[in-house]
Amino acid sequence: MAEQQNPYWYRVASLRPRLRPHAHLHRQKQRGLIWYVLQDTASGRNFRFTPQAYQFLGLLDGRRSVEDAWLHSRRVLGEEAPEQEDIIRLLSQLHSSDLLDGYQLPDPEEVFTRANKTRKRKRLQQYLSPLALRIPLLDPERFLQKTRPLGRLLFSLPGALIWLAVLLAGGWVVVAEFDALTDNLTDRVLAADNILIILIAFPLLKLVHEFGHAYAVSRWGGEVHEMGVMFLVFMPIPYVDASAASVFRSRWQRAWVSAAGMYVEMFMAALAVIGWSLMEPGMLRSILFNIALIGSVTTLLFNLNPLLRFDGYYILADVIDIPNLGTRANKHFQYLCQRYLLGLEDAVSPAIAKGEAAWFCFFSVASFCYRAVVVSLIALFVAGKFFIIGVLLALLAVTMMVVVPLTKLFWFLLTSSRMHRRGARAYLGAGLAFTVIAAGIFMLPFPLTTYADGVVWVSEDAEVTTSESGFVQAVPHPSGSFVTQGQLVLQLSNQQLEMELMAALARQKALLARYAADRAHDRVRSQLTAIELRHNQTRIDDLRRRWETLSLYGQKSGTLLVGNTRDMPGSFIHKGEVLGFVVSEQSVRIRTLVEQGDAGLLRDRLQGVRVLISDNLQQEYGARMVRQTPAATDQLPSPVLSTQGGGQVVLRPDATEGDARAMNTLFHVELAFEQMPDRPKVGQRVHVKFLLGYEPVGYQLLRRARQLFLSRFQL
């Protein structure tokens, strides 16, 4: 079948181009398929081509014309040879990247227009990305060559053994000193003097991190010719251009280059925590603590995360052998929308090898969602310090992640010739798809829930509390047994109190004898003695009342919960100490805290409550709301709900151990179990889920965004 002539072919057919000297081709095998990577050593960029394109490029020697090279390819490759449109696109891409010598290519108008737009978009994107603005400064290749032995040691077997030994030692220190390392961590990190240390230590540690990448590239024969500074949330951070690793044949070498920064950074963090454990308190110890914190936390939360375009992303792309994973995943998502939402049957998927389509679907959705969360958190953080800048960053993020894609989509619908060829059916399908999506977001009801932490508590009449100090004499019933109201649960003894009572009784007896004698002989004196009798009787009544409180009785029927009853006899108990509880379904309560926005939902829309106890997350219990405080307060019902106690409520900096006060005001909610757990532990943390019916997810997100904005900036 004859090849259809491309209308622009005559413009390139007679040209005799060839690759420039700084363009080198490298062979790679990815997911069982052969690819060729064209490396531009002048700019550091890389381009991936099929074997068919490679065969065509190999024919361009500056003497053979494009027409002759194409005809030769057709004779050798047959139907697998690239078409004229593919040749034009390939030559245009190489020419726009300054990789061809020869005659000036009068590229087709459409392709050139797209290339110009790409260059303008790239420049504009750099200015519109203040969170990741890059400024190249120097060429580190000469320094890397002079210090190459260090790079060979880092990525050798002896170096790996040293790294492992230091990391194990650092891990042992973290386990042994975990309480000291994490004690009041948030306040220590956010202290003003510590912020200054972080601002200095973070860029220096990242400089070591980037040299790890550079040495890894040099270790396997690559070169690094660009090093500079990028601004991450306005903080200067060093970077190196390690793109030379893209041409390495082994995917494991490429993955090693991506992991080298974290490899070096974790080594520095382990050394720092070891040094911290050996230092006395002071400035140097604080610096080592921050190096250990930065080197471990940033590695685990950011660099290792494949959903962000940091080291973890490149490691994942190399390990699963899918180069340019992020861009191709986005293109695959566009393909799915065009093919199945707009009905464009000529849409082409970038997925070529087996398994790529599944990775593209997962990565495009997951990375977008995670990136949106991270950008939102960064904007909120900056807005907390600089309100106007934070709002501008948020608007910029919404523009780049929502407005720009939607604008491109509508422009595609209005101007694409592919849409015009499909006619009204395509536009009808697009409108129907958008209608369904909008209806799903703003009309389809989804479960509406809110979550909170709580603590198991009991009413005051269920507490077994001592009214008098004394020694435990007997515990008649073991913990967990059922006791009835008025039944003895604990017996104390207080010899001093008993002696005082006996002395008061003896004095009362003596006063009665004296009163009888004085009454017969001296009426005035008898009246004074009568006064003493009344005072002493009052003392006897008080002592008897105190003595009676040494016997502790259950105020209601229920299950007795006390400590180890075998160890209690003979131990001294202070006055007012809570020794245990007599719990029943009526006495056990859950105290929890909710924010102001959720408090209104609980009053108006609560349909059910589910509770998970922290030591048994597989068993879910039903509960009901007993009452809700009408006004917000900063007092916590228990310290276990604070961040210091393992909860989520941030305390005020001036809060004391006995006065747990939250940073923000919250509403107290009291719940009761519908089905009593077996032996509930008073003071234990629980996780509460409030069921609030159904509401479209769009309105749920808008409400949460509004609540977050109002609470974050206290408007």
Residue 490 corresponds to which amino acid?
L
**Cα distance between the two ends of the chain:** 72
The answer to whether 147 and 218 have CB atoms below 8 angstroms apart is: no
Residue 440 has pLDDT above 50, yes or no: yes
Tens of pLDDT, residue by residue over 223-240, are 888 899 887 656 788 989
Residue-wise pLDDT for 450-489, tens only, equals 888 888 887 766 777 777 888 888 888 777 778 888 788 8
pLDDT for position 210: 92
Confidence of residue 533 (pLDDT cuts 50, 70, 90): confident
The pLDDT tens digits for 335-346 are 887 777 777 777
Secondary element (H or E) of residue 607: none
pLDDT per residue over 547-585, tens digit each?
888 888 877 777 777 766 677 788 887 887 777 777 776
Percent above pLDDT 90 for the chain: 7
The confidence score (pLDDT) of residue 211 equals: 93
pLDDT of residue 111: 43
Instruction: List, in order, residues 6 or more apart from 633 with CB less than 8 Å away.
Output: 665, 666, 667, 668
Q: What confidence tens digit (pLDDT) does each residue in 271-309 have?
A: 999 999 888 888 888 889 889 988 888 787 778 888 888
Nearest to 170 by CA among 277, 248, 88: 277
pLDDT in tens, 74-110: 888 777 778 878 888 888 878 777 778 764 544 445 4
**pLDDT, position 486:** 79
Mean pLDDT, residues 484-510 taken together:
85
What is the structure's pLDDT at 390?
Answer: 65
* Distance separating alpha carbons of residues 312 and 363, to the nearest angstrom: 13
CA atoms within 13 A on the CB side of 660: 15
| Helix intervals (H) in 307-423 | 311-319, 325-336, 356-385, 387-398, 404-415, 417-422
**CA-to-CA dists, residue 490 to 342, 476, 549, 560, 682, angstroms:** 78, 7, 10, 11, 19
The conformational region for residue 100 under phi > 0 = left, psi -120 to 50 = alpha, else beta, is: beta
Q: H-helix or E-strand containing 136?
A: strand 133-138
C-alpha dihedral sign at 680, 682, 685, 690: positive
Predicted local confidence at residue 115, as pLDDT? 47
Query: What pLDDT shows up at residue 90?
Result: 82
| Residue ranges with strand state E in 509-613 | 551-553, 558-562, 572-573, 578-583, 588-594, 608-613
Greater model confidence, 650 or 473: 473
Task: List pLDDT tens digits, range 244-264.
Answer: 888 888 888 889 999 999 999
Least confident among 57-61, 185-189, 598-602, 616-620: 185-189
User: What's the pLDDT score for residue 712?
Assistant: 59
Using 50, 70 and 90 to split pLDDT, how confident is the model at 113? low
User: How do the domains of the chain map onto residue ranges?
Assistant: 9-127, 134-321, 324-443, 452-458+587-713, 461-579
Higher pLDDT, 426 or 555: 555
Give the pLDDT score at 658: 61
Q: Look at 300 and 606; give whichever has higher pLDDT.
A: 606
Class of the CATH domain delimited by 9-127:
alpha beta
Res 213: pLDDT: 92
User: Residue 167: which pLDDT band, with cuts at 50, 70 and 90?
Assistant: very high
pLDDT at 166 over 90: yes
CA-based nearest residue to 266, from 239, 303, 241, 235: 303
How far is residue 79 CA from its own chain's centroid?
A: 51
Asked if the model's pLDDT at residue 425 lies above 80, the reply is: no
The single residue listed with the structure tokens 């009408």 is: 630
Using CA atoms in the order 282, 287, 290, 295, what is the torsion angle rounded to 10 degrees?
-140
| Whether pLDDT at 164 is above 90 | yes
Architecture label for domain 452-458+587-713: Beta Barrel (2.40)
Q: What are phi and psi of 255, to 5 degrees?
A: -65, -35
Q: To which residue do tokens 């890059």 refer?
A: 134
Tokens of 528: 């004074």
Half-sphere exposure of 38 (CA within 13 A, CB side): 22
Which is more confident, 114 or 191?
191
Q: What is the pLDDT of residues 116-133, one digit of tens each?
A: 555 555 555 555 555 556
Predicted confidence at residue 114, as pLDDT, reads 45
Give the mean pLDDT of 482-500.
83
597 CB-side CA count, 13 A: 17
Residue 163: per-residue pLDDT: 93
Give the pLDDT confidence score for residue 105 in this predicted structure: 46
Helices (H) then strands (E): counts for the chain:
24, 23
Q: Residue 456 forms beta bridges with which residues? A: 590
- 482 strand-pairing partners: 559
Average pLDDT over residues 355-380: 81
Residue with structure tokens 């108008």?
109
At residue 342, φ and ψ (nearest 5 deg) are: -95, -10
Q: How high is the mean pLDDT of the chain?
A: 79
Tell whether the model's pLDDT for residue 714 goes beyond 60: no
Strand pairing category for 551-553 and 488-493: antiparallel
**Span 532-542, mean pLDDT?**
87
